Amino acid sequence: MQDVKFGDVTVNRIVELYEDASPPEVITPDMPRERWEENRSWLVPNHWNPQTDAYVGALQSWLLRSGGRNILIDTGAGNGKDRPQPQFSNLRTDFLGNLAASGVRPEDIDVVINTHLHLDHTGWNTYRVGEDWVPTFPNATYLISKTDFDFWNPAYGNESVVLGKGNYGSFEDSVLPVHQAGQTLLWEDSYTIDENIRLELTPGHTPGASVVQLQSGSDRVLFASDTLHVPMQILEPDCNSCFCEDPAAARAVRHKLLGWAADNNALFVPGHFVDAGCVEVARAGARFSIKGWGPFEALLARD
């Protein structure tokens, strides 16, 4: 398990799974296919599998050790959960084994951050004991934006514009049990975890989507969650994924965060990138370019 140090913070990548997902036209419906073809030389094979014509995505978490605490960013899809999407339904992954390989047990996690409440970012919040879903991390505080909590809470009667029933069941089995256990902290606008790590609300992908800023010493890292799904959105930041609830806000947030990363020499860490999992970006007029890939081990090296 690879440790990477940023100032006083150590970061591990905890992988649940990686897979061929959907065709380029599905994940980025407003991006011309030609843009993918023009960048085939570096997209293939680790970001786009031409044999299946699918972008390659990861479900993964990031473990931060900061100030004597273990902080977990997002919790993937989870095991044994009934979902509308076959790729997320009734999984049997070794996520907890991968976490253990980093030297951390579930009871060692102090803070869980759900950057937003889509089913593929909350699944390991809980696991099944008999007929009940109970918190996987019994000693953790789960940080959830109040805006997303209220939006996805069926009790409030809101409906997703984009996902429809695609998030069905995840609030009930992955969010509500930790809230009922008294382990959630619902925050608004921003939240400081410690001197190194801060949460910022970045609505667009979901109403309460957030990012995690790490600033320690001279190092800057932005855990950007689903601000973008595929590397092509760095080159074409006006192109949303098919999952963004508020398209205009999602575009604005993407430009803002990529610009901040470029101007502050910050490592940009999206939620679903394979290969190195993170990237350095530079401004290229009204768009951005890839300056280099991050220090984490590549997940894939397909022929």
pLDDT at 301 > cutoff 80: no
Q: Residue 302: its pLDDT value, please? A: 52
Q: How confident is the model at residue 162 (pLDDT cuts 50, 70, 90)?
A: confident
pLDDT for residue 1: 66
Q: What is the mean pLDDT of residues 133-138?
A: 98
Rounded to the nearest integer, the mean pLDDT of the chain is 95
Segment 274-291, tens digit of pLDDT: 999 999 999 999 899 999
User: Quick check: 221 pLDDT over 60?
Assistant: yes
Residue 299 confidence (pLDDT) above 80: no
Which neighbouring-strand residues pair with 283? Answer: 288
| pTM attached to this predicted model | 0.97
pLDDT at 297: 86
| Residue 298: per-residue pLDDT | 82
Proportion of the chain above pLDDT 90, given as a percent: 90
CB atoms under 10 Å from CB of 18, counted, come to 18
Q: What is the pLDDT of residue 165?
A: 79
pLDDT of residue 247 exceeding 60, the answer is yes
Q: In which band, very low, low, confident or very high, does the pLDDT at 140 lie, cut at 50, 70 and 90?
A: very high
pLDDT value at 300 more than 80 = no
Q: For each of the domains in the chain, give its residue range(s) and CATH number, in order of start.
A: 4-293 (3.60.15.10)
Considering only residues 235 and 159, tell me which one the structure prediction assigns the higher pLDDT: 235
| CA neighbor of 270 nearest in space, from 27, 2, 38 | 27
Which of 238, 282, 289, 237 lies closest to 264 in space, CA to CA? Answer: 282
Average pLDDT over residues 52-77: 97
pLDDT at residue 267, rounded to an integer: 98
Tokens of 271: 């939620």
What percentage of the chain exceeds 70 in pLDDT? Answer: 98
Other beta carbons within 10 Å of 119: 26
pLDDT, residue 57, reads: 95
Give the CA angle between residues 229, 202, 25 to the nearest 5°: 25
Angle at 12 between CA 98 and CA 83, to 5 degrees: 50
Structure confidence at residue 159 as a pLDDT band (50, 70, 90): confident
